[in-house]
Chains A and B, each alone.
Chain A
Amino acid sequence: MTTAQPRPAGQPRHSLRTDILEARPVNLDGFVEEWPEKGLVAMESEFDPAPSVRVEDGRIVELDGRQRADFDFMDSFIADHAIDVASAEESNALPSAEIARMLIDPRASRDDVLAVTRGLTPAKVLDVLKLMNVVEIMQGMQKMRARRTPANQAHSTSARDNPVQVAADAAEGALRGFAELETTLGVLRYAPLVAIALQVGAQVGRGGVLTQCALEEATELELGMRGITAYAETISIYGTESVFIDGDDTPWSKAFLASAYASRGIKMRFTSGTGSEVQMGNAEGKSMLYLEIRCILMAKGAGVQGLQNGSISCIGVPGAVPGGLRAVAAENLVASMMDLECASGNDQSFSHSAMRRTARMMPQLLPGTDFVCSGYSAVPNADNMFAGSNFDTEDYDDWNTIQRDFQVDGGLRHVREDEILLARSKAARALQALFAYLDLPAVTDDEVEAATYANSSADYPFRDVLADLKGAQAVMDRGITGLDIVKGLESAGFHDVAENLLTVLRQRVSGDLLQTSAVLTADFTPLSAINDPNDYAGPGTGYRLEGERWAELKKLRHVTSATDPESEVG
């Protein structure tokens, strides 16, 4: 490819090296200059307020330089619900450097830190984070993550909204280790069928995996109430009053919604992230991290157990400014130091550069978070209806290798192909039997065969979309619930799958999954920040990848046997 083209007159000559660098994928990424006056700045802006707090008669009357009469609704909500009034003045009087040191000092326990952070104002939190470099932020995360054992979450979607594909990929994802699986739709009316498929596939892959379907509030809540899904996450909040209103909500409406989910026994977390306000043109001149800290405190005040953050769908914005990924790592840490479950991003297409994609997740993978990805694509990115994730099915072996290289637990494991094929086939057959039982559009044997060996939606026979949409409507009209799915699976002979789903449904009666950072283990024990609290106290303590789990993560697709170097193990 070196045919010499005559250079147009007047254009400067480039070196061959420049040509090579120009062609590198990283130069397809977008980068912009900061514009602090408009909030296009990660976390260091002279336009952010200075911390201050004043309490009178048990009420916060001044917050970060603003008097109560001038509070916007975020200030009001944070002052009245999020900040611990009793300790506010004392905590905010501590030097920020002292609080930053506590975050990285192993002799200060997680509880010691929380005793201070629960009284901090947003600007004070920012002041603390500004002192921390990215390694210190990771150290903080290692200790402040609410649940001791890290986990991971996946997207399982289909470009054709094909329920058979979603079931098979959910089963594989669950088998590979994801603790939560999330779907959404291209055609929203498909939701009931795809949500059922996700649930069935998940319970085939590994009993106890939790599922959700991201939709507008009313339908999302309804699917949850019926027991077709197990949790919810796409409840967005924003850091400025104006953007919050543009989203047609307020902190009070969202707090009410949070309680509505809990009243039905459904686990739920909010979603926010750096960059959303400036993206929507109303950052009110504040840095991305400052606004995200306001979101995190708002979520805390609402009493929701957790938050999905780490820029999420706006990652292209912090990703384009200096220090952006430091701010993204910082926002995850702030969620954790506010004692919230943190599903920490890494869930949207982020970069053309494989090196940059990997670097982006290190601050979450290395210290561990409650969910390292709040959506690793368990389908090829072309099938990802969340517009693509930072990692997809092609990256499974890379991810597993990085876990093994660094001896860190990113929630996944290598699984042998025969096990995967078995799970995929069983998920498709279970769905086939269930659809027959519920009188929904048939799943053919050809589809089961395709699902077993497929990679993407293109590898499946076409379904009759109109019939499926009618079937989806029938699920809603006939009031089909999780209990009907259990019955159908049981009567079709999928007893173990039925039992798994019934056990998940029974959990909503107990409310155990409503507690902070709760997941269900393979033996259906709820594991949360209460019975699995992060007890990190320096080297040799806290969660360590060892024993059976470490043995599991040593396995890869190809590892040469030490006893017989002419063969491979596993």
Chain B
Amino acid sequence: MSASLDTGLTRGDYPLSVNRPELLRTPTGKPITALTMDAVVSGELSAEDLRIAPETLELQAQLADASNRPQLAMNFRRAAEMCAIPDAEVLGMYNALRPRASTAAGLAALADRLETTWSAPVCAGLVREAAEVYARRDLLARAGAEDGEDTP
């Protein structure tokens, strides 16, 4: 995935599904044109074939860049890194980023896991940035605090 696809996409290539279908593949390596009703009926396709591939998100990021939308492009690049992470773990990571849900060490470990296990340096950067702000704004988990207690 790190192989940067220098496709030189411009706004005129959008929509890719119409103008550049040859660039689009499923995570299982099938061309998008293989997603036909015949293939569905014959059972050749699985749910996995209807997911987006990280390479496609990179293409969409290039289109977002070409449209002057750097934040949107950055979102797509984080998303590309997340494609491989299982659903449950993605939700777990999201929950870990909620206010006072994680300690500084917990967030540091999460960032490391993103970086090393999932090769997701952009996502890791977002988590590290959150950890820094949470520390300053008292949003890290309080060690030993009882969850859900409302006593003053």
Contacts and interface: CB of A to CB of B under 8 A. Distances in A.
Nearest to B131: A252
B32 A509 contact: yes
Given A259-B75, A483-B40, A515 B52 contact: no
A263 B52 contact: yes
A253 B69 CA distance: 21
A97 interface: no
Contacts of A64: none
Nearest to A118: B68
Nearest to A304: B75
Scoring A498, A502, A514 by chain B CB atoms within 10 A of each residue's CB, the highest score goes to A514
Contacts of B126: 252, 255-256
A44 to B, nearest CB: 30
Contacts of B81: 263
A482 interface: yes
Contacts of B69: 339, 516
Contact of B91 (A221, A265, A481, A486): A221
B66 to A, nearest CB: 8
Scoring A80, A264, A529 by chain B CB atoms within 10 A of each residue's CB, the highest score goes to A264
B23 to A, nearest CB: 9
B61 to A, nearest CB: 9
Interface stretch (A34-42, A243-251, A350-358): A243-251
Nearest to B17: A510
A265 B59 CA distance: 13
Interface residues of A, number: 70
Given A339-B69, A529-B67, A506 B17 contact: yes
Interface string A56-84: 00000000000000001100110011100
Contacts of B73: 303
Contact of A526 (B15, B72, B76): B15
A482 B50 contact: yes
A301 interface: yes
Contacts of A80: 129
Is the contact region of chain B dominated by helix, strand, or loop, or is it mixed?
helix
Given A303-B74, A509-B52, A262 B17 contact: no
Nearest to A306: B72
Interface in A238-274: 241, 244-245, 248-250, 252-253, 255-265
A300 interface: yes
Contact of A263 (B14, B63, B90, B97): B90
Contact of B41 (A244, A487, A515): A487
Contacts of A305: 72
B35 A509 contact: yes
A531 interface: yes
Interface string B82-102: 110101001101100111000
Interface in A474-506: 481-483, 486-487, 490-491, 495, 498-499, 502, 505-506
A252 B75 contact: no
B40 A530 contact: no
Given A250-B139, A257-B94, A508-B50, A483 B45 contact: yes
A253 B98 contact: yes
Scoring A248, A302, A507, A515 by chain B CB atoms within 10 A of each residue's CB, the highest score goes to A515
Nearest to B43: A487
A505 B67 CA distance: 25
A257 B98 CA distance: 11
Contacts of A257: 94
A509 B50 contact: yes
A510 B16 contact: yes
Contacts of A279: none
Interface residues of B, number: 61
Interface string A181-225: 000000000000000000000000000000000000110011001
Interface string B36-57: 0100110001110111110011
B68 A252 contact: no
A252 B60 contact: no
B11 interface: yes
Nearest to B64: A515
A516 B94 contact: no
A85 B17 CA distance: 34
Scoring B24, B60, B80, B83 by chain A CB atoms within 10 A of each residue's CB, the highest score goes to B60
Nearest to A507: B17
Nearest to B82: A263
A249 B71 CA distance: 20
A499 B37 contact: yes
A264 B41 contact: no
A136 interface: no
A512 B17 contact: yes
A351 B85 CA distance: 46
Contact of B139 (A245, A486, A528): A245
A262 B90 CA distance: 12
A256 B11 CA distance: 26
B75 A510 contact: no
Scoring A487, A499, A510, A525 by chain B CB atoms within 10 A of each residue's CB, the highest score goes to A510
A365 to B, nearest CB: 27
A257 B34 CA distance: 30
A54 interface: no
Contacts of B47: 226-227, 481-483
A503 to B, nearest CB: 9
Given A72-B137, A225-B87, A303-B71, A248 B15 contact: no
Nearest to A76: B133
A304 B64 CA distance: 12
B37 A483 contact: no
Contact of A508 (B16, B52, B74, B94): B52
A358 to B, nearest CB: 35
A249 B98 contact: yes
Contacts of B64: 515
Contacts of A106: none
Interface of B: 11, 14-18, 21, 24, 26, 32, 35, 37, 40-41, 45-47, 49-53, 56-57, 59-60, 63-64, 67-69, 71-76, 78-83, 85, 87, 90-91, 93-94, 97-99, 123, 126-127, 129-130, 133-134, 137, 139
- Which 8 residue pairs spanning A and B have beta carbons closest together? A303-B75, A265-B52, A262-B79, A252-B130, A263-B82, A510-B17, A253-B97, A259-B78
16 contacts: A249-B99, A252-B129, A253-B130, A256-B126, A260-B79, A265-B51, A301-B71, A304-B75, A305-B72, A481-B50, A502-B35, A505-B35, A506-B17, A507-B17, A531-B11, A531-B14
